[in-house]
Amino acid sequence: MLIRRPPDIRESEVTDEGLYISRRQFIRRAAAAGAGLGLAATASPLAACGSDAGASSLAVQDDELTPYDVVTGYNNFYEFGTGKDDPAQNAHTLKTRPWAVTVEGECNKPGVYDIEDLLKRYPGEERIYRLRCVEAWSMVIPWLGFPLSDFINDLEPTSRARFVEFRTLYDPEQMPGQRRAVLDWPYVEGLRMDEAMHPLTLLSVGLYGEMLPNQNGAPIRLVVPWKYGFKSIKSIVSLRFTREMPRTSWAQQAPNEYGFYANVNPEVEHPRWSQARERRLGEFRRRETLMFNGYAEQVAHLYEGMDLRTNY
């Protein structure tokens, strides 16, 4: 896993001065006191950017950050179009305030949680994660966010909760791509509880020192770095704890191509292309795809005894 910490990298090497200032503004906002959620308040300090959380011996020092304009200009977000540049061109129609996440299902604290309260309640931290897409391209992105497990713990899921289902906003007026039957809208994704509770799993609210751009999933999205990017659902409005495995969008749309687990596995070929190699956006050369996207040391134990060709 790539997490750079001082003195390995200076702030000025990650981003320009304007983004650096934006990042500090974000941190001050995220660290602001407030119980907000109606949950027990804690005095947990803001985690330092570049935190050791989830640090790994698999750190790859030659992984360079993907340029900001590529991260924000080359996206899969079918709610705004199927072309890679469609989201950047069309996502300005999305209104990210007011915004809330509805929590339902097998938990003791269901409710509607406002995004502003989430930002106050959970300290933000920066994590540099790889993002891998099934089309054999990848990025390295400095995300800002907080562990999904922090939120889940406060919601007190019951022993019957085995999965977490997420849904994206459904609003064809704001999301013109939803006017086409590309998928069965709204977009749905899901994780097993142990995957959701893993310390690498992040709810991101920003990248590159800024709040999330609309085309990257504003105002809040999931980041699961050992899975293909389509598991990292964007613009989340609903979280439901369930007993049964969620019927996720791509597993329903093309079950022969996309399974529920979507772990990065170079040994399992997509029916239309190989997953054995990838191209990092901003580079010309291709590189070998790493098992679990390079996070095997941290997550392989979650799938012990499973046939990863069947459970793809």
125-171 pLDDT per residue, tens: 999 999 999 999 999 999 999 999 999 999 999 999 999 999 999 99
What does the pLDDT read at residue 240?
98
pLDDT at residue 168 in the model? 98
pLDDT at 34: 32
Q: Is the peptide bond preceding residue 176 cis, with omega within 30 degrees of 0?
A: no
DSSP 80: G
Q: Is the per-residue pLDDT at 224 higher than 70?
A: yes
Is 26's pLDDT higher than 60?
Answer: no
Peptide bond into 255 cis (omega under 30): no
Structure confidence at residue 17 (pLDDT): 36
Task: Enter the pTM of the model.
Answer: 0.83
Residue 52 predicted with pLDDT over 50: no
Between 56 and 232, the more confident residue is 232
Percent of the chain predicted with pLDDT > 90: 76
- DSSP H/E element including 126: strand 125-133
Q: How far apart are the first and last CA of the chain?
A: 22
pLDDT digits (tens, 9 = 90+) for 242-278: 999 999 999 999 999 999 999 999 999 888 989 999 9
CB atoms within 10 A of CB 30: 22
Structure confidence at residue 39 (pLDDT): 35
Q: How confident is the model at residue 20 (pLDDT cuts 50, 70, 90)?
A: very low
Task: Map out the domains of the chain with their CATH numbers.
Answer: 11-303 (3.90.420.10)
pLDDT grade, residue 63 (50/70/90)?
confident
Residue 5 CA neighbour count, 13 Å, CB half = 13
User: In this predicted model, which residue has the larger pLDDT, 214 or 6?
Assistant: 214
- CA pair distance 228, 261, nearest whole angstrom: 9
In order of 226, 234, 270, the CA distances from 94 in angstroms are 28, 12, 32
pLDDT recorded at residue 62: 60
Q: What is the pLDDT of residue 40?
A: 32
Per-residue pLDDT of 206-215, as tens digits, reads 999 999 999 9
From the number of C-beta atoms within 10 Å of its C-beta (0-12, 13-18, 19+), residue 243 rates as exposed
